[in-house]
Amino acid sequence: MEENYDDYEKKKILIVDDEQKIVDLLVHNLKREGYNTIEANDGLSAVDIALNERPDLILLDIMLPRMDGLSVCKKIKNVYNVPILMISAKDEELDKIVGLEIGADDYITKPFSVREVVARVKANLRKSEANHEEVKAVKNAEEQQEKKKPSTIKVGRLVLDLEKYEVIVDGKVINLTLREFEVLKFLASQPGQVVTREALLEKVWGYEYYGDIRTVDVTVRRIRERIEKDTSNPQILITKRGVGYYIPN
């Protein structure tokens, strides 16, 4: 038998009902609309089939043997987000509320119009597709934004390679510890702006309280020993007396 590759493009719908006549009716009409269908007649089978086959939409009866439809809905929604349309002979408001609260996307009561079911299926698939496209667009935008982030910071004679965690001064690579690199990175990302010792301690070391600010002074001194030609007259990492440190533009 020759394989029909068009089937791969069709949406797959799982129909879950213990009344085979209803299943056959829905299968017939949904196939006429161009959908692929799979079936389950009890709750446990429905969960297994849904998680293995990953249908695009589920028509789910509430009153099922082995596991009720509400439990089935909850178990499936805990694993992946698929439109689920609950079907029930009950027309009580409480059943609808419970179904929707546990993640059902729509609610249809028996006896139903097949045309209404098909219309609801189409509407929920369109909504699901739109949500997927929106999520994809947001993800792409975030990825593009990430790509736009500079991989280097250059201020005067100082260059920081953010990917290699390297510091370069006058074309020469300077070996710094990670903490020293982070101090320079924080200051170089806002050139000309004086940053207090307390702010450096909080942002670079992650202290929520003001610890011993001498830690900052010691680290700055070590950095200067490596990047400055004359530590007594620093040109790259400057002290603002009584306030903090900055890297000039």
Tokens 């969960």, located at residue: 47
Whether residue 234 is found in the same domain as residue 176: yes
Residue 143 lies in a domain: no
Residue 76's SS3 state is helix
211: domain range? 152-246
Domain boundary among 131, 166, 192: 131
- The answer to whether 68 and 43 have CB atoms below 8 angstroms apart is yes
Whether residue 9 is found in the same domain as residue 122: yes
Number of domains in the chain: 2
Whether residue 126 is found in the same domain as residue 14: yes
CB atoms within 10 A of CB 163: 7
Whether residue 44 is found in the same domain as residue 108: yes
101: CATH: 3.40.50.2300
Whether residue 113 is found in the same domain as residue 160: no
Look at residue 102 in the predicted model and tell me its pLDDT: 83
Whether residue 119 is found in the same domain as residue 181: no
Q: Is the dihedral of CA 107, 112, 117, 123 positive or negative?
A: negative
Residue 76 vs residues 71, 79, 167: alpha-carbon distances, Å: 9, 5, 51
Look at residue 60 in the predicted model and tell me its pLDDT: 96
Whether residue 115 is found in the same domain as residue 209: no
Residue 136 lies in a domain: no
Look at residue 92 in the predicted model and tell me its pLDDT: 64
Residue 140 lies in a domain: no
208: CATH: 1.10.10.10
Look at residue 219 in the predicted model and tell me its pLDDT: 92
As a whole number of angstroms, the longest Cα–Cα distance in the chain is: 91
Residues in the chain with pLDDT < 70?
1-9, 90-95, 146-150, 207-211
Whether residue 240 is found in the same domain as residue 125: no
Looking at the chain, the whole-number percentage of residues with pLDDT higher than 90 is 61
Amino acid at 198: E
Model confidence over 85-138: pLDDT tens digits? 999 876 666 667 777 788 899 989 888 999 999 999 999 999 888 888 887 888
Domain boundary among 131, 162, 184: 131
Alpha-carbon gap, residue 111 to 109, rounded angstroms: 6
Whether residue 12 is found in the same domain as residue 124: yes
